[in-house]
Structure 1
Amino acid sequence: MVSRTTDPEVHVRGQQPPGGVERPRLRAGAAAFTALAALAATGLVAGPAVGATVANPCALPRTSAHHSLGLDTWNGSYARPTRALDAVMVFLSFPDAEPLTTPAELAADHFPATSEYFTRASYGRFDLRAHPRSEWVEMPRDSTSYGIRRDWDSGNRSAYLRDAVAAADEDVDFSRYDIVYLVADPDAPGVDSDATKVVNLDRPLEVDGTEIKRVVTVFERHPPDRNVLAHETGHVFDLADLYHRPEDGKGDWDTHVGDWDVMGSQFGLAPDLFGWHKWKLGWLSRAQVSCVQGSEPQVVSLEPTDAPPPEYGGLGTRLAVVRTGPDSVLAIEARSAAGNDAETCTEGVLVYRVRNGAASGDGPVEVVDAHPDTEACWDRSVYPPLADAPLEVGETITVPGTGVRVEVTDRTEGGSWTVKIAPPVVG
């Protein structure tokens, strides 16, 4: 299945890992602007380090790769979602079209659903507070004059941002907000729904005494694609694209992670964020991450990353990590039909590779397919070969290229999974 993605980055096809599972059976303007240069999701690179987020030998260091998945420090040029963040949603109309919808209708396309997504993903530790404007802001030029499209000309894109912020600044105090969503009239003739993206600014916009470093430009249809704003907002928090873009624009975009994270596909059946992402964002602490070291097997009890915390007590262990090199790890987590993953068609223990030096779109995460000879959910999955990637009870896999052996030995009535992890023998 081909799924439309929203970010205009060029992607390189990744390789699906070989090998398989050992298992008992098979199954089937008014503002002051500094020189504006908009860069489509590639502008700000390493950024300043802000503190040490973790002290853990399994925590990969952050690199200069765009949206590096290293998490020893936080990139201070991005807002970190460990507190409530306020987002303004500005609705833009054009002289060449009379809107067929209202700002309230378009706001309801995305909120409260997007806020609820992040509340579930963060275990209630992050609140995305949306502030949609109630009136249209008219742009000074026709929609067709901006050349809006997926791979957008930088000059036209800069003109669009300049005009939009200047027009909105008459009524919006941008200093009050952490995130800016610019939502275009979906029925204007020059609006291309494939152009939705985050635009990073190599020189921030200075307006209302604050700096705007990035803007989410929304050109979605009404109603929009599922979870599209959750995906784009993930970029605002320095998360990478996990899909790959075929060279000819045709074929499968979802061979890296399939349904298993919204940064891979907003259409996924299990779109909750990977546990590695939750660790990076500050929603999992070291106490919820088991770093598997040494030469002896280690038994870990994993609570599903998508399950809410119990009414009493902490989160429990949600992620196990094995260091496989200076720039790579294997991450191991349980996934269930809960929270953002309520529509998943398979449950189990998911294993995936993480590389801190791979840039957004270059395969920083690759799910290990424990069942490479079968597929699942072919009628609903964005990539059926990975829909049955998780291990079930009684199944074992030795991950190709690492020597790491993962065995699922039990699942308790409470829903936790008992996993035996054997690091590679060194010597």
Structure 2
Amino acid sequence: MRSRIVALSASLLLGAAFASAGIVLGAPAATGAEAAGLLPADSCKVESINFSMQQGFPGHFSAARSVGTVRAQALFVDFPDQRIDDPANEMMPIYQRIMEQETAVLEAQSGGRLDIEVETHETWMTLPDPTSAYPPAAGGGWAGDSMTKITTEAVRLADPVVDFATIDVIWVFHLSNPSLARRASADNDLRLEADGRSLTRHVVMSTSYLPNTIVHETGHTLGLPDLYDVEASNLPQEDPSRTLRFIGQWDPMSDADSRTQFTGWTLWRLGWIDDHQVRCVDPSIPTEVTLHAVEDRAEAALAVVRTEQFRGVAIESRHPEPAPQSDFPDQQAGVLIYVVQGDTTSGQVIAQSADGRERLTDPESMNAITLLPGDRYTDPDGGFTVTVLVHAGMSDTVRIEPVGQPTGSPVDPDDAAVPDDVRATPAAGSVATLPPTGADPNPAVVLSFGLLAIGLPIVVAVRARRRVSGAEPRHRGAKR
């Protein structure tokens, strides 16, 4: 009986030692140091001032749902001085096909979380006034009054045959005309009643810009802001170096003609990736994070360091497909770092370049703004650095640490001199802290293993004495 008690005590001591060391049999190990470098994802949700279209959390109440089903009603209009020259309505199937392609892009970007159902009124409706009655704004976009007037009249004409009772957003298409706005516009404050439904979200766009524009404009109805320089785009001659100076072609809300992937922050903001896919990092603790390409929607899709209530730094791995039809050079795969600013209407997302590299804003330079192994970004406000360690396959590993922290050399996966055990990319979603040798031993661990060392010899000694004395084990139920 005494030997059983001793053996049990030893087992408990062994279990206590494993538990104190952070080892759980049959479950993944998680060290206290790793947990110390990460914060709950909610801690990194940068806030916004109450804009109707914003990048901060939470989204504005006027936005359409980004998870679930959104029903769009497409209406086509012309004008008394510009009638559609398509008596057989041959263009309508083409428009229909483009709408299906564009909504499929959005649904794919959402990872299947958003379903867009489009109802089309396949009849051109002539508005009561000529094109001159709907003047654009000074910069060439839609004036709010003109846009509201077009949608209101289009809904009034369609109401006898179209049921708006379940519609979430109105899409109004018109032919291109110099008298009209040269850019599409979206608004979430329409305030129009039809079939007992309050219609608040609408988009007005030319059929000439229908491809790709739907992705960008529908993003607005989901509550996303423009990420290009709106002021620069209103100039008579747009200069891409000014218009795309914030985030370039790295998000469709910046370049409406691009089929590029939404940034990881936008995906998180829309609920298209979950909190568990976001690494919210405490920059005061050196931490390594392996990020998998945003395009893959893997476990670790985004790292964020929040520096203020309305400011945060987002870090993601980008591995874009070549764009053979693009007017600009292909985007460079690597680590995209950008600042999210929630208290401004312009420049809510701004891509950052590596330390020592001049930040140019021409399209070619913006497409190559990603960081590669050896590159480092020092945040001017947060007092931390981000160093790219590994760029391999469809992932990148970065180290986030306080400014001035001594660091090792970044690992180039193409360097044949690097040992295989160093070259290997950490497992998906892994998070490790520096220094690599680990922290000092936990006193509880030392005590547990010390007690274990004392207990095991006692068990051995008791069993040896039993063998020497020849004592027979007592069978259960025997009389004493």
Residue of structure 2 equivalent to 1:276? 265
Q: Please tell me the residue identity of whatever aligns with 1:95.
A: P
Residue 331, structure 1, aligned to residue 317, structure 2: no
Residue 342 of structure 2 corresponds to: 356
1-structure distance, mates of 2:322, 2:166: 31
Letter in 2 for 1:98: R
C-alpha separation in 1, matches of 2:143 and 2:256: 25
- Larger helix proportion of the pair: 2
TM-score for both structures, normalised by structure 2: 0.67
Read off the aligned partner of 1:321 and give its amino acid letter: V
Asked whether the equivalents of residues 303 and 317 of structure 1 are also in contact (C-alpha less than 8 Å), the reply is yes
Give the C-alpha shift of residue 90 in structure 1. Answer: 0.7
Q: For 2:170, which of 174, 180, 191 is the aligned residue?
A: 180
Tell me which residue corresponds to 2:420: none
Residues 425 and 166 of structure 1: is their aligned pair in 2 closer, same or farther, counting only changes over 3 Å?
A: farther
Q: Larger radius of gyration, structure 1 or 2?
A: 2
Relative to structure 1, is the Cα distance of residues 425 and 132 closer, same or farther in structure 2, using a 3 angstrom cutoff? farther
CA contact (8 A) 2:378 2:403 kept: no
Q: Which residue of 1 aligns with 2:161?
A: 171
In structure 1, distance between residues paired with 2:338 and 2:47? 18
CA distance in 2, matches of 1:299, 1:417: 10
Correspondence 1:316 to 2:299: yes
- SS of the aligned residue for 1:170 comes to coil
Aligned-residue offset at 1:374: 7.8
User: Is the contact between residue 84 and residue 127 of structure 1 (CA under 8 Å) also seen in structure 2?
Assistant: yes
Q: What does residue 180 of structure 2 align with? A: 192
Same amino acid, percent of matched pairs: 26
State the match for 1:27 in structure 2: none
Q: 1:60 and 2:46 equivalent?
A: yes
Q: State the shift of 1:424 in Å.
A: 4.8
| Contact in 2 for aligned 1:225/1:266 (Cα 8 Å) | no
Q: What one-letter code is carried by the residue in structure 2 that aligns with 1:287?
A: H
2:287 match: 298
SS of corresponding position for 2:253: coil
Partner amino acid for 2:295? D
Kindly indicate whether residue 53 of structure 2 is the aligned counterpart of residue 70 of structure 1.
no
Distance 1:116 1:209 in 2: 29
Which amino acid in structure 2 is aligned with residue 275 of structure 1? G
Which of 241, 261, 265 is matched with 2:255 structurally?
Answer: 265
Cα gap change, 1:390/1:154 in structure 2, threshold over 3 Å: closer, same or farther? closer
Partner of 2:383: 403
Higher relative contact order (Cα pairs below 8 Å, separated by 6+ residues): 1
The one-letter amino acid paired with 1:386 is: M
- Tell me the distance in 1 between the aligned counterparts of 2:323 and 2:195: 37
One-letter identity of the residue aligned with 1:115: T
Partners of 1:382 and 1:113 in 2: CA distance: 30
Q: Are the counterparts in 2 of residues 396 and 405 from structure 1 also a CA contact under 8 Å?
A: yes
Q: Which amino acid in the other structure matches residue 320 of structure 2?
A: A
Structure 2: distance between partners of 1:342 and 1:421:
37
Distance 1:382 1:86 in 2: 38
CA displacement 1:204-229 (0-9 Å, x = unmatched): 111110011121011242xx265212
Q: Distance in 1 between the 2:350 and 2:170 partners?
A: 31
Show CA shifts across 1:27-79 (max 9, x none). xxxxxxxxxxxxxxxxxxxxxxxxxxx961111124223423221x3322211
Q: Which residues of structure 2 form unaligned runs of 5+?
A: 1-39, 406-480
CA contact (8 A) 2:103 2:116 kept: yes
- Corresponding residue for residue 119 of structure 2: 131
Instruction: Tell me the distance in 2 between the aligned counterparts of 1:115 and 1:158.
Output: 24
* Counterpart-to-counterpart distance in 2, 1:397 and 1:227: 33
Match of 1:44 in 2: none
Check if 1:422 corresponds to 2:410: no
CA distance in 2, matches of 1:59, 1:340: 32
